[in-house]
Each structure stands twice: as structure tokens, then as C-alpha cells.
Amino acid sequence: QNATQTVEEEKPKPPTVQEIKQKIEKYNAKVTNCLLMKLNEDGTYTGFIKVHLKLRRPVTVPAGIRPQSIYDALKEVNLAEMTDKRTSFYLPLDAIKQLHISSTTTVSEVIQGLLKKFMVVDNPQKFALFKEMRKDGQVLFQKLPLTEYPLYLRLLAGPDTDALSFVLKENETGEVEWDAFSIPELQNFLMILDKEEKDKIQQVHRKYERFKQRLQQTLKEARGKPG
């Protein structure tokens, strides 16, 4: 009689402080700039990660709010809470933001931190952090769990961004819980979709209008030829 037995996978043991220290030393030896990792007395460590923003859709930001100053950042002033007015804004395509984080900083906290820096008031569930890897000439993306620690992944991969980089993209895996959004946010989504639909229709119209003009020109030239 064959019996199926469920065997739980053994979770890897967390690295010791000594192992972390050795990995940090190895990492810092490869760093070509001043963005080093630093080990703290309590066994945690800090360092830098770069996140590429590859957002194809506009985000919601406060209307008429000036950029955050150094004073506001030091005082932790949330300018987004100073107005209820909202507007849609396209972040620069493939913008890069450098973050100084801790080994205890999770993916969820990285996403929230990025949205706060750009004063984006959209629900963080709209976004996901991916790790980008290059292998055999191919670019591979893998969505990171919200509880993952990006700095540890950076430490394991080394400072070379070709081996590993982080990308913020829209969360389009079907896991978005729409009930978590407020009525104004849902209305804003509809406005954005309506604008995208109109832009797409205009693009199609312009495409076929150019095709029509070339076709008419070709017919006109053909009629003017003898024989």
C-alpha cells in the first residue's frame, strides 16, 4: 500500500551576526561609490537600494501642493494632508529613487515610503515591488511578497544592479481588493480610464486618417499616370 506523506519544507536558518558581518564586508569591497552597508551593534544593518519607477498609469497627488522641503522632511510634515483637492499626475517614466533603509524594512514599508516621498495618495495596494534580474540575455521580473526584506536581497546579490534591481510597478495580478478603496479614489480611477480610452481612440483615428491620406495620394498619382 502506497501512502502519501506530507513533508514540511525546512525553512532556512537566519544568518548569524558573524555571517552577516562577513557578507557586508564582502559587499562593501565591491562598492565603487560611497553607498556602503553598515552593521549595527544589535545585529541589524543599514544600506541603500535604488528603485526604478515604471508606472504606466497616472497617480493621484494633492492639487496645488508645493514640493516637500528639507524642513518639512525633518519635521515629518505631511503636505498631502493639508488639502482635500486631488489631481492626476504622470510620474517620469523610469525615474529612479534611492532609499536608505534598514535590514528590518519590509517591501510594504518601501512601497509606502516611495509613495510618501512623491506625495502619492493612492492606496498602496495599487502597487507592487518587483525584483528585476538579467539571465542569458533575458530580463526576468518577480513580484516580491510584502513581508520580504529588500536590503537582505541586495546584500546577497551584491551592489551590481545588473544582477538585481528593484522596480515599482502597478499591481496587476488580480489581488487588488477594490473594497478597500474610497469612493473618491474609485471615481478617480474611472476618470483616468475614461481619459485613457479617449486617448486610445484618438490614436486609432489619427493612424487611419494618415493611412487614408496616403491611400488617396497613391490613387491620385496612379490616375495621373498615362496608360
Residues 46 and 152 in one domain: yes
Residues 158 and 184 in one domain: no
Residues 166 and 193 in one domain: no
Domain that holds residue 137: 17-67+81-175
139/78: higher pLDDT: 139
189/138: higher pLDDT: 138
- Does residue 9 fall inside a structural domain? no
Residues 50 and 115 in one domain: yes
Residues 114 and 94 in one domain: yes
The model's confidence at residue 135, banded by pLDDT at 50, 70 and 90, is confident
Residues 103 and 184 in one domain: no
Q: What is the DSSP string of the chain?
A: -------PPPPPPPPPHHHHHHHHHHHHHH-SSS---EE-TTS-EEEEEEEEE---S-EEEETTPPPPPHHHHHTT--GGGG---EEEEPPPTTEEEEEEEETT--HHHHHHHHHHHTT--S-GGGEEEEEEEEETTEEEEEEPPTT--HHHHHHHH-S-TTT-EEEEEE--SS---GGGS-HHHHHHHHHHHHHHHHHHHHHHHHHHHHHHHHHHHHHHHHHHS--
Q: How many domains does the chain have?
A: 2
pTM: 0.64
CATH number of domain containing 115: 3.10.20.90
Residues 119 and 154 in one domain: yes
- Does residue 34 fall inside a structural domain? yes
124-133, 139-148, 217-226: the lowest-pLDDT one? 217-226
68-100 pLDDT, tens per residue? Answer: 443 444 444 454 454 566 677 777 777 889 999
- Does residue 148 fall inside a structural domain? yes
Residues 100 and 141 in one domain: yes
Tell me what the pLDDT averaged over the chain comes to: 80
The model's confidence at residue 4, banded by pLDDT at 50, 70 and 90, is very low
Residues 159 and 186 in one domain: no
Residues 125 and 139 in one domain: yes
What average pLDDT score do residues 111-124 get?
A: 87
